[in-house]
Structure 1
């Protein structure tokens, strides 16, 4: 007999109710579907997105549920990193990725110096533009084609450098494609980047590619996969992190990933433990050091502090970290806007609607395309639309700016 449940009951709570009815422990059910107990706890508590369809089906089987709607109710399945309105140039960028050479190619070898200059210009454009997807759309097709051709050319004099540059160009493509509804493209470029970086033998490039793939795992709710790859990258980079600033930055980037992923699972001790280790390494970097792809630097330590605290629902701690940095001190506009959104999340935990509206408006002004293609922004705007009348007018403006139906 089906259990009568409120249609709006969250997926995680439904899993918990059916698990308890079946007399299964968290550890037992998690093991049956190949996940960890901490992952299942985070799903049940709503800290992580609901599992994707294949895993929901496995859970239903082990819980004795015939009708999957008993688990999903009125809640739509998560798409997270892959949801949102398509940018007008998405098809052009996708074609550049799909037509990249898959084997050795003929013709002249693209000049590595020119590709390096193109790549640097593309990262600078991403950092400087409030509409960074539009800026990248103009640069990515030729960059991806040149870098992939160089990496595949039999006469390339520095194949490892070409492969590292191609991996970085694919990371840029992931930044462009995220939240636009084409999950296949996001996974394609993330996984191809890591494979190409590994072929290059450049450990800093491998670390960067891992950072991007972990982003895709975590944003799509694949907590265990995110954590596994993070731990592997930390083991790889740990012995060499003292060899250069680039390797120290790569290790710190992944340690911050570990902190945020543990925080998303509600594991405060592990989260802040990894944060402390990441901070210690990041502080060894030169004061003006800035790595555009991952925002790796000492300057973003407070930004990560805000995110870890928000994921742990520690609003006061998040706001104290926010007080340690001025948004204007963040060199990249998309990163600055993302920070404003994270601080808004801290205020949302306290139901401080005026501050949420003000910070989201600042994020829109700083980098419109960051705010528009951002799941947390959309959630907060919907909350404002349903909130007090005092912020309703501002909420409607935000809804228009971010593409949320008012």
Structure 2
């Protein structure tokens, strides 16, 4: 029988209630979800905003709560709903990752130039196609296999380059696998990419792998780990960031990571402090510079500003920054779609569902696969489904486009 809960309780109070009913101390639960005891206390006492969806799912799992509505007070949201629909190609991509040589590879060594071309084609497909997960599902099995063999072959003519390419291929796997319910695969490729990049000694490859691992930490609510790795990457890149635009962009990317992580923790001063430092470096990049894996460029400064402001619930600031960038200026369709979703979040906070519906429709047009596997987009669509009559038709269309109506 479900436990009766006072509907007036906040999310934090509900977490405390179920934690105590489960007989877990703050220290124990915080440790299980990868956070500090102080963070959990602040959440329970309402000094921090309620945890985001991925963290709520983890908390629910460790407290034995089957329906997230018990923690949120909202309509029924079974935990399984958020495991993520699997792309048909996921099992094939996973098999390619798991089939990597454990020791030295045998047979003929793949051409490193050919592997580099495969990596470039995959990143280009990821940026240019709205169905980028389908595109990656077609390309990744052969790419991951070739890259892993090249990086571990005894006759490899340039092992460091091969390792950097393999790390980049694994980053592509993380992008493909994210939000599909196989968290083990995401963590496996994120950590393997960083280990491989470190072996290569390539600072850009290391920073790119760090960027992706920080993404995994933050999406799972492990903000302390995200910030620790971010700061370590910044220390690594600091002395060399002036050596090339790629290294300067890498430093700025990690500083933007710091800003967003602090924003999600509700620490406004630290968030905007890191944003200012990141912006200063990003503005020095050539106007045509674009680093596909992390969207590193001067053009993404307003994109990150919108995210920081939305996380801090500073709606006016978010919308002022959004006005500084036409989404079409972002060359990568998935990045364009994610930006539109972030701007939609700002309008949702301001209570303007018609703008939310319009922006989400634009996001689906830019990159349907991004909207389909984006938790924030799903949350916004659910809100529209319960919204005013003016957005009902758009909401139903969006529910179909994002897979919520399946």
TM-score (norm 1): 0.89
Cα distance change on mapping 1:339 and 1:266 into 2, 3 Å: same
Shift of 1:228: 1.5
* CA distance in 1: counterparts of 2:119 and 2:266, whole angstroms: 38
Give the aligned partner of residue 42 of structure 2. 41
Please tell me whether the aligned partners of residues 384 and 395 of structure 2 are also in contact (alpha carbons under 8 angstroms).
yes
Shift of 1:95: 0.8
* CA distance in 1: counterparts of 2:19 and 2:110, whole angstroms: 58
Ranges in structure 1 where 5+ consecutive residues have no aligned partner: 61-66
Give the aligned partner of residue 172 of structure 2. 172
Shift of 1:178: 0.6
* CA distance in 2: counterparts of 1:39 and 1:116, whole angstroms: 45
Show CA shifts across 1:189-235 (max 9, x none): 11110111111111111110011011111111112211121111112
Please tell me whether the aligned partners of residues 227 and 261 of structure 1 are also in contact (alpha carbons under 8 angstroms).
yes
SS in 2 for 1:73: helix
Ranges in structure 2 where 5+ consecutive residues have no aligned partner: none
* CA distance in 2: counterparts of 1:249 and 1:83, whole angstroms: 33
SS in 2 for 1:280: helix
SS in 1 for 2:107: coil
The correspondence for 1:73, drawn from 60, 65, 70, is: 70
Show CA shifts across 1:320-365 (max 9, x none): 0000010010000000011110100000001100000000001011
Show CA shifts across 1:222-262 (max 9, x none): 12211121111112212221122111111111100000000
Please tell me whether the aligned partners of residues 39 and 265 of structure 1 are also in contact (alpha carbons under 8 angstroms).
no
TM-score (norm 2): 0.89
Give the aligned partner of residue 357 of structure 2. 357
SS in 2 for 1:390: helix
Shifted more, 213-222 versus 235-244: the winner is 235-244
* CA distance in 2: counterparts of 1:103 and 1:261, whole angstroms: 37
Cα distance change on mapping 1:125 and 1:248 into 2, 3 Å: same
1:313-328 alignment to 2 at 5 Å?
A: 313-328=313-328
Shift of 1:79: 8.5
Runs of 4+, deviation exceeding 4 Å: 7-11, 16-21, 25-34, 51-57, 67-72, 74-80
1:295 aligns with 2:299: no
Please tell me whether the aligned partners of residues 11 and 72 of structure 1 are also in contact (alpha carbons under 8 angstroms).
no
* CA distance in 1: counterparts of 2:122 and 2:65, whole angstroms: 45
Please tell me whether the aligned partners of residues 166 and 193 of structure 2 are also in contact (alpha carbons under 8 angstroms).
yes
1:131-170 alignment to 2 at 5 Å?
A: 131-170=131-170
1:109-258 alignment to 2 at 5 Å?
A: 109-258=109-258
Give the aligned partner of residue 271 of structure 1. 271
Tell me the matched-pair count.
393
* Structure with more contact order per residue of length (Cα contacts < 8 Å, sep ≥ 6): 1
Please tell me whether the aligned partners of residues 47 and 266 of structure 1 are also in contact (alpha carbons under 8 angstroms).
no
Cα distance change on mapping 1:149 and 1:40 into 2, 3 Å: farther
Cα distance change on mapping 1:352 and 1:53 into 2, 3 Å: closer
* CA distance in 1: counterparts of 2:387 and 2:59, whole angstroms: 35
